A and B are shown apart, each in its own frame.
Chain A
């Protein structure tokens, strides 16, 4: 970044109430499902009720006779419409096995929910009715539902067109791993299960596609986090020229990774709009979405950690089975391999071996879910450190402190080969312990253990870090990802002195309009109220890499800052010209350029905007425009960290777990809007705690999703959630001009191991060394019973 001036800070760092709220709290919203276009038709899909079967016949003729039905198509009818299958943009290995994924299956279905036909009708009720009249004959095939069974000799195949159930094995070995383990004084080995989750954004997915009208372009509105990626990928999948497709992400009601994809229904609606020349709409029901919208997590982790006599870590071995589900969606295989950089977490070690096997099963595909690979890794290492501390007979904090990177050691290149630019684990931990009353609660725990209280107190620690700001393009290239990690912004100065900021990020609850206004207001010296932020429409924000991976502020906010700096650099030239001064003699503060030492000789950004618009008098060596673009490619990831502490009350007679206290001290670098940051952490905590205590996508042996609706998949309510005590420490990021690190996923990544460590800590005197997630009363009770029978691993092995 070019240092021009340091404008006075008026907005960055303070809470500004959100610009986004007014329309959302009054019901004047713009959700995709709100759209009603003239002549619009409604789409419903016929989905497989079987996890794995040959499709021997699909007959839509009776459906076509139903009232209001305009068209109905089988997979075979549409097979010629796809230029390619649905995309996987992350071929992690050259020999990765990836089945062709057509939006509508033709002769084999591979999970419950795989679409086999589509009905188009005048109303959504008519379309839903007609689905019942599509006759499909299936010839059942064995369902593959368990990863270990899937790779055992003689397993049936999840996809009969493939020769294996293994998509890939991806390996990265840093340091001398054999030496690290051969000479170890102590080795702790564990298997942890990171269960399958259903993201459950409260807005169901919805897609509307309109055929060309005034422009020769299709317009698609979709509940997507990634309108730019979607546009390119749909062009490739459906053979529509990219310039003839406009994608709009209007108000989008949460995503959490589940809307970071290119879905069958998006491709299908584009093809239907092309075939029928009518606007078409599809909105999932929640139960349909539970089958057809990507799931998250689903890993089995085999971990070993080797220590020296003095309890310093020698090395870590990680071997993962990662469930891909039936197909590879946009970034499915890339999610677990992010763990290769995160299992070592905040700890120093001499060797790290990471192996990940991607496995196909007859289940809904997995893909990014809040944290995407990093929560799984953090869970594994933070659980493992607690287990090792127990085996070594030391306090879990003591083992962490002995091994973590000291604040004076930053920047620090980890064993995984990435450079952590800044951090202070000591400071965050000290603050967390103080807020939590760590010593007081430990003393109470001792008393209650001694008294044999049937409700035991457990204390859980999570000292986490994560890699955010996805991502340096060269790193993505080295990991075989199909695109870069840059972000784009542009700033348009209007003649009236107001500004439009256009961003390539695509918010769906994160408050970018507010935060980007704060950044731009300070950088341009234009009042916060005079800035409009535009996003989420490829015709307006033509270029972007969208929103996921806690990247928006770190990369997209950075781009806004740089674009604003370019505007000011141009304005400075004009100011110098108008004031008849040298550029170097000008000061810029709060929107005003003035001559050093002569503050009365000045002009404002607003006056300059108007002067440039009139263009009667401007410097000869520039165009009459202040408008500027910036495309920034981050030089590094950012590395937020923090210390989370959780106290649980565990009823040893019923297995019921209650969170008594939760403290989160996060270091996310500089903060733009403290209230928005707090909200991001609250929400992240809720999702991470939900994984620990309540949520799990359960399949039966035939591959039926047993948690197929919100009746059976337990998304916690306000009544379940504890109060959170938050604080922050601040070590600015050194690799972007804002000093920001990202906050979208921190709470989720940190909280799951904090809670489970607390549950296990409560039960440790009973011999329990693990509890399967979710730590439901039955899983906790089973762990207690198993321990009393001599099995201490909670049932994971």
Chain B
């Protein structure tokens, strides 16, 4: 067992873990932070996407011990549940308004990947969004409304006046 110290959504956590423990299992099973999902075992689906030290990563592909000393941000830290809708991140609001989710299982990963995308490229084109989200699979939406949501959120995050997005 190895001791890890990881700051998760602003809270410092410290546990003895097996060296083989995946970061996503640390989040879900050790911390009980089940907002981040697991959808595959080959790093293809992206359901488990989080940010580690500001970089978007798939938490099924990182060992908890590799995250020792890191800051991890998940979908659960994007908004304060106490504040309700008013406290939502622009991406959460945009996914809701543009119907960018159906079953919602891919959504935490999709939102975190989109956040990384917009941080790297504040004004992405439709193609840049589609290419940028290539590592995140959704089986429900056909992606069109996800693209729309990301464009809408990016506009809001840039401070643009809210415009009707047509993709």
Which residues of A does B touch, CB under 8 Å?
17-18, 20-22, 24-29, 31, 33-34, 36, 124-125, 200-204, 251-254, 256, 285-287, 508-511, 675-676, 678-680, 682-687, 709-711, 715, 717-719, 721, 723-724, 747
Contact = CB atoms under 8 A, between A and B. Distances in A.
Going nearest first, the 9 A-B pairs with the smallest beta carbon separation are A27-B35, A253-B105, A24-B104, A509-B103, A682-B142, A686-B142, A509-B102, A710-B44, A34-B34
Given A25-B96, A682-B144, A254 B35 contact: no
B101 A27 contact: no
B35 A28 contact: yes
B118 to A, nearest CB: 15
B133 interface: yes
Contacts of B139: 200-202, 254, 256, 683, 686-687, 715
Interface stretch (B61-69, B78-86, B156-164): B78-86
B14 interface: no
A253 B32 CA distance: 19
Contact of A33 (B20, B38, B133): B38
B45 interface: yes
Give chain A's interface secondary structure class: loop
A634 B139 CA distance: 30
Residue of B29, B39, B111, B140 with most partner-chain A CB within 10 A: B140
A249 to B, nearest CB: 12
B132 to A, nearest CB: 8
Nearest to B138: A202
Given A34-B28, A286-B40, A719-B133, A710 B45 contact: yes
Contact of B101 (A25, A204, A680, A721): A25
Interface of B: 18, 20-21, 28-29, 32-42, 44-45, 47, 74-76, 78-79, 81, 84-85, 88, 92, 95-97, 99, 101-108, 111, 126, 129-131, 133-147, 167
A26 B35 CA distance: 7
B103 A286 contact: no
Residue of B40, B92, B142 with most partner-chain A CB within 10 A: B142
B78 to A, nearest CB: 7
A203 B92 contact: no
A269 B111 CA distance: 34
Contact of B41 (A124, A285, A718): A285
A203 B35 contact: no
Given A251-B104, A717-B136, A17 B96 contact: yes
Contacts, number: 186
A292 B103 CA distance: 22
Given A29-B34, A36-B32, A723-B167, A679 B102 contact: yes
Nearest to B22: A125
Given A27-B108, A201-B139, A253 B76 contact: no
A202 B103 contact: yes
A21 B45 contact: no
A285 B25 CA distance: 13
A721 B41 contact: no
B139 to A, nearest CB: 5
Contact of B131 (A125, A510, A680, A719): A719
Contact of A718 (B84, B103, B130): B130
B77 to A, nearest CB: 9
A203 B136 CA distance: 13
Contacts of A18: 96, 99
B97 to A, nearest CB: 6
B41 to A, nearest CB: 5
A26 B103 contact: no
23 contacts: A24-B107, A25-B95, A25-B104, A27-B74, A27-B75, A31-B34, A33-B37, A202-B47, A202-B105, A203-B37, A254-B102, A509-B104, A678-B145, A679-B141, A682-B144, A682-B145, A687-B139, A709-B42, A710-B42, A710-B45, A717-B136, A718-B138, A718-B147
A254 B136 contact: no
Contacts of B47: 202
Contact of B20 (A31, A125, A685, A719): A125
Contacts of B134: 717-719
B30 to A, nearest CB: 11
Contacts of B76: 26-28
Contacts of A511: 102
A285 B47 CA distance: 13
B39 A202 contact: yes
A254 B105 CA distance: 8
Contacts of A682: 141-145
A38 to B, nearest CB: 13
Contact of B143 (A202, A253, A680, A686): A686
Contacts of B142: 682-686, 721, 724, 747
Contact of A678 (B99, B103, B129, B130): B99
Contact of A679 (B35, B99, B105): B99
Nearest to A199: B139
Given A719-B133, A719-B134, 20 more contacts: A20-B104, A22-B85, A26-B88, A26-B92, A27-B36, A29-B35, A34-B28, A201-B139, A202-B39, A204-B39, A286-B41, A509-B103, A678-B99, A682-B143, A686-B139, A710-B42, A715-B44, A715-B139, A718-B134, A719-B130
B72 to A, nearest CB: 13
Contacts of B106: 202
Contacts of A25: 75, 88, 92, 95-96, 101, 104, 107, 111
Contacts of B130: 717-719, 721
B69 to A, nearest CB: 23
Contacts of B143: 682, 686, 717-718, 721
Contacts of A21: 95-96, 101, 104
Residue of B28, B75, B105, B146 with most partner-chain A CB within 10 A: B105
Contacts of B28: 33-34
A675 B145 CA distance: 10
Nearest to A252: B103
A61 B104 CA distance: 42
Contacts of A721: 130, 142-144
Given A24-B107, A254-B105, A204 B96 contact: no
